[in-house]
Structure 1
Amino acid sequence: MTQAIERGTDGRLAEADLLAGTRNASLPQKGVEHPDEIEVERIQIHRINSPHTIIRFPLSACPWLGRHRHSRHRQQKDQTAMTMTPGTITGKELFWFNNTLVAIHVSSAAGEDGTCVVEHRMPYGDSPPLHVHRREDEVFHILDGRLRFQIDGSERFAEAGETVIAPKGLPHTYRVESREGARTLTITRGSDFETMLRQASRSAEQPELPPQMQPTPEIIAALVQLCAENGIDIVGPPLG
């Protein structure tokens, strides 16, 4: 069912609509007049009986992006003490993706089915934007910590030992609720997710979380575009 969305004369959505996870997507365009917004172009996410309307939303609602490997950024010290369960990542490819540490356990290129297994270490409060995978289901197996998931408008909590699936075509996100952070295995079939991770990350300088930072408009625009190029559409803000 198509969801009607009301805008003001300036094209903005009310903050309540954003926080409610309204299903919208954004892509950057050239010539943005306001530095706190990303102007978007109209695209269509193909999902039976549930088209998504494309909007723009303020950067203040998007504290979810880290550093693109070709973008400048500013860092800020993380004031929260962080204890992460070590795990075994020796010999794995390690990347800093936004404010998280990623280890590639199985690359999609390793087998004929394109299965990818990624270990993801995240700090407390980490939450990606609401997004849709067009071609891949996304499976999360929680190794440590507690996460709050939102999948197609419904919320649930998951703890160590539990497994959650976000089917392709359904808007989803999560938030790390455990103070010590969280660690998951993320499993997909296909190269979209892995390719986006590699393109949007930088090699980890050490096997721990990167220095925490705030995104710039350039970082946000670059990551939104990379996601779109790899079958992932940003459709709303992260969980607060």
Structure 2
Amino acid sequence: MADGTARLPPAVRAGEDRFGAPREFLNGRFTCKVSARDTNGALCIYDTYRFRPGGPPQHVHFAQDEWFLILEGEFKFQVGNETLVLQAGDSILGPRGVPHAFRSMTETARMMIAFQPAGTMEAFFAAELLDPLSREFKELSRQHGMDVVGPPLGA
């Protein structure tokens, strides 16, 4: 700004999206809380609401760490060879280069997900919803720095 102060991003209220455009993706709604545009690409954070059990296929990020904080419900995670069940207050890191997947285990659930660096995750979540087992989903993942390496986690 002209007076030398940086323009800060606005507060994002509970249940709202940073840009007023929450996304439906796989089994839930994703609301952006911190955008890559706010951090010069260093970070993006999503609040995710899960409407039914399920999750993405096992995947690996080539250049991003993915961090999860469980807010409500119960989630099963596989990171590398380790499988854990996490509940509200628990967190786990999916380091770049390590295959990981998760599955919401309860009818409704909620967790925060952070990507560092942000990469093109916002564009990935804005894409048309595809069957996560399809070749098109695998190609979309590759376009955004990920590789699908296995099926979604079972119950």
User: Could you tell me the TM-score, scaled by structure 1's length?
Assistant: 0.53
Is 1:142 the counterpart of 2:51? The answer is no
Deviations 1:107-164 (A, max 9, x none): 1111135210101111332121010000100000111111010010210111111111
How many residue pairs were aligned? 139
Q: Secondary structure at the match of 2:138?
A: helix
Distance 1:234 1:221, change over 3 A: same
CA contact (8 A) 1:108 1:114 kept: yes
Deviation, 1:100, is 1.4
Matching of residues 60-79 of structure 1 within 5 Å? none
Q: Secondary structure at the match of 1:93?
A: coil
Is 1:90 the counterpart of 2:16? The answer is yes
| Structure 2: runs of 5+ lacking an equivalent | 1-12
Q: 1:116 is matched with which residue?
A: 44
User: Could you tell me the TM-score, scaled by structure 2's length?
Assistant: 0.81
Tell me which stretches of 4 or more aligned residues in structure 1 moved more than 3 Å: 214-217
Deviations 1:70-124 (A, max 9, x none): xxxxxxxxxxxxxxxxx92235430111231111111111113521010111133
Matches of 1:145 and 1:164, distance apart in 2: 15
Matching of residues 1-240 of structure 1 within 5 Å? 88-90=14-16, 92-112=20-40, 114-178=42-106, 180-189=107-116, 190-201=118-129, 215=131, 220-240=134-154
Deviation, 1:194, is 2.2
Q: Percent identity?
A: 27
Matches of 1:235 and 1:112, distance apart in 2: 29
Distance 1:113 1:231, change over 3 A: closer
Deviations 1:160-210 (A, max 9, x none): 1111110000010011112x3210110012223222112245xxxxxxxxx
Q: Secondary structure at the match of 1:227?
A: helix
Cα-Cα RMSD: 2.1
